[in-house]
Amino acid sequence: MALECKVCLPVASVGRVGMGVGLLDESLLTGESLPTLRTEGQDVIGGSTLISGALQVEVIAVGKRTVLEQMVEVVKTAQQDKPPIQQLADRLSAIFVPVVLLISVLTFFGSYFLLDISMGQALLRAIAVLVVSCPCAMGLATPTAVMVGVGRLARLGVLIKGGRTVEQLANVKHLVFDKTGTLTTGKFRIESAEYPSGEMKLANALVWEMEKHSSHPIAQSLRQALDGVPRAQEMPELEIKEQRGIGMLAEGTDGHIYRLGSRRLLDAEANCAGDIFLLQDEEIMAVFKLGDDLKSGATKAIGELQNQGLQIHVLSGDQEAKTQRVAETLAVANYYAEQLPAQKLVKIKELSQTGPTAMVGDGINDAPALAQADLGISLSNASQVAIQSAKVVLLNGRIDVLPQAVGVAEKTVQTIRQNLFWAFAYNIVAIPVAALGFLNPMLGALFMACSDVIVIGNSIRLKYKKV
């Protein structure tokens, strides 16, 4: 099966290169932001996009043997491993209802047989106990607060799958972020440039001219970055050609050979940090380090989340150096680079053992970790498998709303507890009063309705609480 530029191998298949050389974007599954070189005899992951070159690929795995299908199985296993979270109201109601029924029965028999009260009066006391303790307030305590909380989150652009998710979001201790596409835009930029030869303007002009002949996304990024920097006005005429999988080659009228490309241009023992290199013959003229732009508001959001007491982690399939730079920019001490989907899954399991863990990701490679985490958070522009594996979806890919979302979730849980406390305290006072005959069923119904109004009013207050 021959692949042309910009055509990708079906996600459900895995292939092997039979002929040709090409650069593949494998970020869909690996999270690696830079293209990967693939040559004859090397394997190709299903879902990769050919962005440069030409390949003839033989499909060698389909169905359950593919990387994607194996990942789907990992997701299913992770979902089955998670224990269900029981809400506080359910646990209280399971105890409260039988106790109230028992108190009502004891009230009837105690009043009739021990206190020598008529059967009619004893029955009214028993009914009053049931009416005044009707668990409406307890039943409304959780759903009313959740309804208001979820509505407020929706206005922030945070969609919640199920009321239990609010409680999970409020209790998160570890928040793990994928890097590429989640914290960063995934678009390349020049992070720094060095000119060992000292000829900055000439080097910039050479790079700008040579990259005109390349359709590689990094080439476009370099040209855009160099548009506003000083460049030499005079330079040798160049005969330029592209070397697939290596870079650009130019022969100048000044007798020099210029090469522009990745580290593959350097000798194996060369000790020079960078991503893109410009060489004049064998001398390095320029070194460019590439990076991803952080998403708008990412730095502020991470800082606010840390101030809220959350432990922040960066978990990426990208290179160590790039992951470290992003983590240091965001002031995040815990980061893990070059992580495959299975390794991300293991790391999430480890963190979950020390506290409730949420994973924020957007790619297919993040799906197992999203499913394994106590709470999965995805972006609305993420892959469908990531969205399906998550319980929280951030609209428009905005992670800057996460601090507010966590705050609203915490206020929602706080409101639920306040409602439950009021409902429980009301019953503690009202039941003895009704059992002793000081409250007839009609007044009991009125007081029960008042307790409902108080619970509903407290829940509505959540809509206006400052977060």
The Cα–Cα gap between 295 and 316 comes to 16
Residue 26 in tokens: 């494998």
In single-letter form, the type of residue at position 180 comes to: T
- For residue 126, what are its two tokens? 């028993």
Q: What are phi and psi of 94, to 5 degrees?
A: -65, -30
Work out the burial of residue 128: count CB atoms within 10 Å of its CB; fewer than 13 is exposed, 13-18 middle, 19 or more buried: buried
d(CA 50, CA 216): 11
CB-side exposure of 183: number of CA atoms within 13 Å?
Answer: 33
- Return d(Cα 39, Cα 56) in angstroms, integer: 10
The neighbour count for residue 333, using CB atoms within 10 Å, is: 12
Residue with tokens 């209280």: 92
In single-letter form, the type of residue at position 421 comes to F
C-alpha distances in Å from residue 186, one per residue of 30, 34, 124, 199: 13, 9, 71, 31
Clarify whether 178 is annotated catalytic: yes
Phi, psi angles (nearest 5°) of residue 29: -110, -30
Q: Which residues of 230-259 are buried (b: 16+ CB within 10 A; e: fewer)?
A: ebeeebbebebebeebebbbbebeeebebb
What is the C-alpha separation between 348 and 176, in angstroms, rounded? 8
Amino acid, res. 455? V
Task: Check 25, 178, 292, 362 and give the catalytic one.
Answer: 178
Distance, CA of 138 to CA of 89 (rounded, Å):
7
DSSP structure string for 51-91: EEEEEEEEEEEEGGGSHHHHHHHHHHHHHHHSPPPPPHHHH
For the chain, how many residues are written? 467
Annotated catalytic sites, by residue?
Answer: 178
